[in-house]
Amino acid sequence: MLNQPVSILKGVGKVRQTSLHNIGIDTIGDLLNYYPRAYEDRTKFYNLSDFPEDTPVCIRATVGTSVRTALIHKGTTISKCKIFDEYGTIELTFFNRRFLEKQLFVGKEYVFFGKITTFNGKYQMSNPEFELVGRGKISGKILPIYPLTEGITRNFLADSMARALANTGEIIDDMPESIVKQYGLTPLDIALKNIHFPSSHQRLRDAINRLCFNELITYSSALAQFKSSIRSQSAPKMKVISLNPFLENLPYELTGAQKRAVNDIFEDMYSGYSMNRLVQGDVGSGKTVVAAAAAYLSALNGYQSAVIAPTEILALQHYKNFTNMFNGMDVRIALLVGSTSKKEKESIKSALANGEIDLLIGTHALLEDNVVFKNPALFVVDEQHRFGVAQRTKLSKKGQGCHTLVMSATPIPRTLTLIIYGELDVSIIDELPPGRQKIDTFFVNTGYDKRLYGFIKKLIAEGSQAYVVCPLALESEESDLASAEEYASFLQNNIFPDLSVAMLHGKLKAKEKQAIMERFKNKEIDILVSTTVVEVGVDVPNATLMIVRNAERFGLSQLHQLRGRVGRGSEKSYCILVSDTSNHETKERLNIMTKTSDGFKIAQEDLRLRGPGDFFGMAQHGLPKYNSIVNQADMRTVECAKEISEKIISSDPELKKPENQWLYKKVYHLRSKLGDSKLN
Ligand code: ADP
Ligand code: MG
């Protein structure tokens, strides 16, 4: 039954079949695995003196005045009446509702479901759903809210789910009963019923945990296989050194969090076993200097190290920073990127092979087979989530028998860290260098453009610089999107003829990008319009304004990264998110940015709103998006899934044993979905 096409369901014809197909639903099984993205709790009733505003609630109340309808303008009518309970009174308003007076009767008690808002100082509920008390059709339940698509309505999905559940017959669970029992999991069929139509909050929780468990155990197993393949054993044992000369060379003192991270790293590198450490810290928390300390330890021990960054701009910036930090010290540094001239590449390579370079900084160009180190001890990967699986595999080969330090500015919610970075030790830099000011963040629509331009002008007159980020580089057919190029020339010609506006996008050659960044750094450019190439680690302390156009197109974590480009100096900085979205959820998302600057909080919100797919994507294991309901698994479920999968993988890495076939199938299916049947 689960394999049958959805078209066997009543109400699913050709057109809807196609719509369903567009959201990945072909079979009954797919349909049942299309989980709600949220629920509407209509089990709780509020009274008219105590209710949350702006969120849908159930109210049981009596109609107090008869419905009065008026025409407000052509084609629009408004109907009003008052309702009351023993605690208060509010007004109901309905737009374009005909025959309402034949549905709502004075003196009768109904259940109303809708949002209560304040209007002209009074509470009102607009366009509520309602039913007579006791009906229980629209109230008293927990109702599913599905992610929708064109041609698919909420009611249609809910009806189809109900039909599918009623007709499926027995749902066979392929997970061994021993596991289901041991971990006290809810049986699969009960979980599926309750994920769509929860009979209680507890049942819903159990269902979520059970279904999450199914997915998590698959991901976790695939990752355990991947990780067990990149794990190495011993690595150069470093002699203890004094870090003081390095520290004394810095223009600042390390923060407590930076010191802790350095200590963690040194302990790893003194141990003789290979370090596999992730340094996680918000943008601007100062991860670079921590990596430099590790490179210093390696160099003083006579070993080579490498720092790999995802873009040339960033590699160049690191090269300069490291050169500064190691100024006057006996550490030989070189830069190797894609655009390095052939001749220079050759000379760097031979110097590297002869041990004449202590620290090589570059992009993935330095992962090439013919880049050979004489005695490498440390690989540092910056903005690690930017590298793809293939590059990471290359890196792990190069880093065989070395220490690896991975740096990420993408905070990941704790629930996911376990799975994504399960095998890495983690140091968290949760403290910003002193003196940083809060970046004031605003969310506006394009109606504010004039004022915004005035603001830009003022800041630039005060000696500052601005970033403007647009989602697309080249003119696109989607005319509503401000194309970065068009916008840059508009700003230059129409708004700021006296200022210098430049444009940076991904299609430019590395050299051109560098030249532009250089000019921006040297204040020859006032306004840098760009696509997200500025997102990664670029450091221009004099820029104090970040404007993001079409902000609705960006994820929260991405916006957070972008915002981190400013606020790097001592001047007050601003981030302005511009969007004309009318979507409530998007607005909510953008509003979060104005309220918090804590990367971990933002990541948690992003997870709640968009699902963990993006985070797995960031980790670049290439895992596909999955239903956001999985976010809601509790920690225990995540831990159990990890525990089981690790137990199984450690005793049967290839999943060949007959008792593990159920898991093999799932993992195999996942990998084939990734188009990568061999992750390692
Ligand atoms: P990220 O963690 O985003 O990579 P960076 O390493 O680029 O951050 O550091 C951001 C800025 O903070 C740099 O200009 C750096 O020189 C400065 N910085 C780092 N550590 C400190 C510190 N302890 N005190 C003051 N400034 C610091
Ligand atoms: Mg950085």
Order the strands of the 376-381 sheet from edge to edge. 333-336, 359-362, 304-308, 376-381, 403-408, 276-281, 425-429
Higher-confidence position of 298 and 537: 298
Decide if pLDDT at 633 tops 50: yes
Query: Tokens representing 356?
Result: 């004449």
More reliable by pLDDT, 570 or 245: 245
User: Which residue's CA lies nearest to atom 5 of ligand 1?
Assistant: 286
The C-alpha angle 648, 651, 653, rounded to 5 degrees, equals 80
Q: Is 314 in the pocket of ligand 1 (CB under 6 A)?
A: no
Cβ(283) – ligand 1 distance below 6 Å:
yes
Predicted pLDDT at 637: 81
Evaluate whether 349 touches 370 at the Cβ level (below 8 Å): yes
Specify the pLDDT at position 23. 85
CA distance 635 to 637: 5
CA distance 619 to 366: 21
Q: How far is CA 347 from CA 335, 342, 352, 363, 364, in A?
A: 11, 9, 8, 17, 18
Is 539 a pocket residue for ligand 1 (Cβ < 6 Å)?
A: yes
Mean pLDDT within 401-417: 78
Q: Which burial class, exposed, middle or buried, applies to 586 when counting CB atoms under 10 A from its CB (0-12, 13-18, 19+)?
A: middle
Give the highest mean pLDDT range of 170-174, 349-353, 486-490: 349-353
Evaluate if residue 257 carries a pLDDT over 90. Answer: yes
CA of 262 to the centre of ligand 1 (A): 14
**Which residue's alpha carbon is at the smallest distance from atom 23 of ligand 1?**
254
Contact 258 CB / ligand 1 (< 6 Å): yes
Residue whose entry in the numeric block shows the structure tokens 């900085």:
573
Q: What pLDDT, on a 0 to 100 scale, did the predictor assign at position 416?
A: 66
Q: What is the bridge-based pairing of β-strands 56-63 and 38-41?
A: unpaired
Ligand 1 close to Cβ of residue 276 (< 6 A) = no
CA distances from 563 to 352, 448, 506, 601 (A): 37, 19, 19, 15
Residue with CA at minimum distance from ligand 1 atom 19: 286
pLDDT of residue 341: 93
Which ligand has the minimum distance to the alpha carbon of residue 561? 1
- pLDDT of 17-53, one tens digit each? 999 998 889 999 989 988 887 888 899 899 998 888 8
Query: Is 433 near ligand 1, meaning CB less than 6 Å away?
Result: yes
Supply the pLDDT for residue 482.
54
Cβ of residue 288 lying under 6 Å from some atom of ligand 1: yes
Q: How far is the CA of 513 from the centre of ligand 2 (A)?
A: 18
Across the chain, mean pLDDT equals 86
The values of phi and psi at residue 381, to 5°, are -115, 115
Q: What is the pLDDT of residue 534?
A: 58
Give how far Cα 557 sits from Cα of 402, 621, 625, Å.
Answer: 31, 18, 16
Most confidently modeled of 381-390, 570-579, 635-644?
570-579
Calpha distance 307→291 (Å, rounded): 8
Percent of the chain scoring above 90 in pLDDT:
50
Dist. CA 286 → ligand 2 center (Å): 7
Q: What is the pLDDT of residues 441-481, one digit of tens each?
A: 999 999 999 999 999 999 999 999 999 998 765 444 444 44
pLDDT at residue 389, rounded to an integer? 58
- Say which range, 166-180, 306-320, 523-537, has the weakest mean pLDDT: 523-537
Which ligand 1 atom sits closest to the C-alpha of 288? 6
Q: Average of pLDDT values for 53-67?
A: 92
Higher pLDDT, 601 or 497: 497
Long-range Cβ pairs for the range 497-502 (8 Å, 24+): 499/457, 499/460, 499/526, 499/527, 500/524, 500/525, 500/526, 500/527, 501/525, 501/526, 501/527, 501/528, 501/529, 502/527, 502/528, 502/529
Q: What is the mean pLDDT of residues 392-417?
A: 77
Confidence of residue 622 (pLDDT cuts 50, 70, 90): very low
Q: Per the structure block, which two tokens stand in for 26?
A: 């072909």
Predicted local confidence at residue 547, as pLDDT: 96
pLDDT at 474: 47
pLDDT of residue 631: 61
Q: What is the CB neighbour count within 10 angstroms for residue 680?
A: 12
Confidence of residue 3 (pLDDT cuts 50, 70, 90): confident
Judged by DSSP in three states, 40 sits in strand
Nearest CA to ligand 1 atom 21: 433
Ligand 1 proximity of 383 Cβ (cutoff 6 Å) = no
Check if 371 has its Cβ closer than 6 Å to any atom of ligand 1. Answer: no
pLDDT in the model for residue 394: 78
Pocket test for ligand 1, best of 285, 290, 324, 386 (most atoms within 8 A of CB): 285
- Is 567 close to ligand 1, i.e. is its CB under 6 Å away? no
568 CA to centre of ligand 1 in angstroms:
8
State the Cα–Cα distance between residues 634 and 205, nearest whole angstrom. Answer: 9
557 Cβ inside 6 Å of ligand 1: no
DSSP state letter for 35: -
Nearest to 358 by CA among 404, 304, 282, 412: 304
Residue 486, pLDDT score? 84
Tens of pLDDT along 208-227? 889 888 888 887 888 777 66
Q: What is the pLDDT of residues 528-562, one digit of tens each?
A: 998 866 555 567 889 999 999 999 888 888 888 88
Q: What is the average per-residue pLDDT within 63-87?
A: 93
> Residue 423 — very low, low, confident or very high, per pLDDT cuts 50/70/90?
low
Band of pLDDT at residue 109, cut at 50, 70 and 90: very high
What gap in Å lies between CA 227 and CA 654, rounded to an integer?
A: 13
Position 621 confidence tier, pLDDT thresholds 50, 70, 90: very low
Residue pair 189/170 in contact by the 8 Å Cβ criterion: yes
Residue nearest to ligand 1 atom 20, measured at CA: 286
**CA–centroid distance, residue 172 to ligand 1 (Å):** 55
Identify the residue with better confidence: 614 or 516: 516
Does residue 537 have its Cβ closer than 6 Å to ligand 1?
yes
Q: When comparing pLDDT for 625 and 446, which is higher?
A: 446
The arithmetic mean of pLDDT across residues 591-606, rounded, is 84
